Amino acid sequence: PSSALNPALRIESQILEVLEHHDFGANAAERHARVVEVMTEVALPSTRQFLRRYPHQLSGGQQQRVGLAMAFACRPAVIVLDEPTTGLDVSTQSHVLATVRDLCRSHGVAALYVTHDLAVVANLADHVAVMYAGRVVEHGPTDTIFNQPQHPYTRHLTAAAPDISGEFAVVGLAGRAPSPGRRPVGCAFAERCSLATAECTTAFPELVQVAPGHTVRCVHRGNTAPIARPLAGDNTRTTSGEVALSVRGLTASYTGTAVVHDVSFDIGRGECVALVGESGSGKTTVSRSIGGLHREWTGEVLLDGTPLARSARQRPVEQRLRVQYVFQNPYSSLHPRRTIGDSVARPLRIAGASAADARTATFEMLERVSLTAAYANRYPDQLSGGERQRVAIARALVCSPQVLVCDEVTSALDVLVQAAVVELLVSLQRELGLSMLFVTHNLPLVRSLAQRVVVLADGKVVEEGPTAQVLGNPQQQYTQRLLTDTPSISARRTPA
């Protein structure tokens, strides 16, 4: 939403621009009246003070609702929404989705909603079209798609989607869709499908109607081999009881204005702690302070009982290597002019390792994150988003850190890639005894990864405890509201 609006124009001017371009209304008075009306429809203030604001003066949810106001301003018959809630916290997402639903119903508007969030689909859409490699492979009513998926890819999607109920573990899928210029003659999914046979590679499957309104392209349609699996309970395992990282009385500010207030929590050795809350709650500020990337803070961050300096530059190299950070955006966290091998080896080279030792460790770590040594000679633009995020994780782990800080590392990824990254983090935590701080607003994902949850609201800790307890029986009204606002697919998804 932040890039969909013109940063140099006031909100009112941007909506009026749409009306004027489409000759909506007979005069300026009618157009202004429509601006006020559509702002009310999207649940935003229509006061002159608010309309004269610039986009940067609005929150992400407000920006997205302004975008909706511009789309609905001319009373269209059809509206296309392209991932309108990606990156928004669950409460803001809930408001935006409710706005979309109400506007479509009250004005009789048909909506095409493009998304990889299956929980949103389950709660919003009437029909679902599943695409793979540029083609629709299955299409049908929402209930049918979730309860009786016929195409293997659809079944993998539902198995990869995390759910707040915690009933199922997320299941990843190796490989990726072929690029547009390299689609095979037959079924594009055959290379990743466990059911594929020679028949799948000779011709693209015919469109078959399996039920009224339900069509699929697959020669093995209807196969019900299980993909989803119950959550094994690994995320509830106990740790050694030793504290790897301790945060005490952390108060962080920006230019003198405090945004985080007296935050304290511990991360045990081999434990994953999820830091959750709405956008603006202070999650990233806390994580950046721990990593030494934000300097304006007071309090203490202790690594094995030893206080860490505020800035990473003031910390000894040994301490910097023991606390590593994985950033949110896989497309901007890697240097575009460095090869993957150079990026992964960089922490070791800073620590004084020889080129040969750094190269050997890089190859080993790339293999550990389910890539290959051949990736070392590639550049970031030659990788998918999921592969880039694996490289970022490899770079963080190559120096054998004690604590890994993950800041919204899956928010830009589709459910299959997200599931693969989560499976990777869980396995690395188990194998290496990693301690992790997992910053996220994706509460369903927390079930699959974290042993404990810390809930932030307005920069303060409002609830803390074991994952099953906090998400299953929240005590604070704020946590209860977060869970209420989280869309769920548990009522529609089956173990197939």
What is the per-residue DSSP string for 189-228?
TGGG-TT--GGGGTSPPPPEEEETTEEE--TTTT------
Q: Could you tell me whether strands 243-254 and 257-268 are parallel, antiparallel, or unpaired per DSSP bridges? A: antiparallel
Say what the pLDDT of residue 227 is.
67
Say what the pLDDT of residue 239 is.
58
Give the pLDDT confidence of 473-496 residue by residue, as tens digits.
999 999 999 888 888 776 555 544
d(CA 463, CA 270): 22
Alpha carbon of residue 356 to chain centroid: 36
Q: Smallest Cα–Cα separation from 75: which of 116, 101, 103?
A: 103
The reported pTM is 0.80
Cα 84 to Cα 95, 97, 198, 303, 327, distances in angstroms: 12, 9, 40, 40, 22
Structure tokens belonging to residue 150:
């016929």
- Reduce the DSSP state of residue 481 to 3 states and report it: helix
> From the CB of residue 13, how many other CB atoms can be counted at a distance below 10 Å?
14
Q: Smallest Cα–Cα separation from 130: which of 488, 414, 486?
A: 414
Q: What is the dihedral of CA 167, 424, 426, 318, to 10 degrees?
A: -160
> What's at 73, amino acid-wise?
A
Is 59 in contact with 113 (CB distance < 8 Å)?
Answer: no
Structure tokens belonging to residue 2:
């932040």
> What's at 176, amino acid-wise?
R
Structure tokens belonging to residue 352:
């004084």
Say what the pLDDT of residue 265 is.
96
The dihedral built from the CA positions of residue 125, 131, 135 and 140, taken in this order, carries a sign that is negative
d(CA 244, CA 266): 8
d(CA 231, CA 209): 34
Q: Smallest Cα–Cα separation from 209: which of 155, 150, 142?
A: 150
Low-confidence ranges of the chain (pLDDT < 70): 87, 166-168, 224-240, 412, 490-496
Run of H or E residues at 448:
helix 443-449
Residue 256, CB-side half-sphere exposure with 13 Å CA sphere: 0
Integer-rounded Cα Rg, in Å, for the chain is 24
Q: Smallest Cα–Cα separation from 472: which of 481, 483, 456?
A: 483
Cα 399 to Cα 218, 288, 297, 426, 450, distances in angstroms: 46, 19, 27, 18, 23
Q: Where are the alpha helices (DSSP H) in 131-274?
A: 142-147, 152-160
What is the per-residue DSSP string for 240-265?
-S-EEEEEEEEEEEETTEEEEEEEEE
d(CA 362, CA 348): 9
Give the pLDDT confidence of 373-391 residue by residue, as tens digits.
999 999 999 988 888 988 9
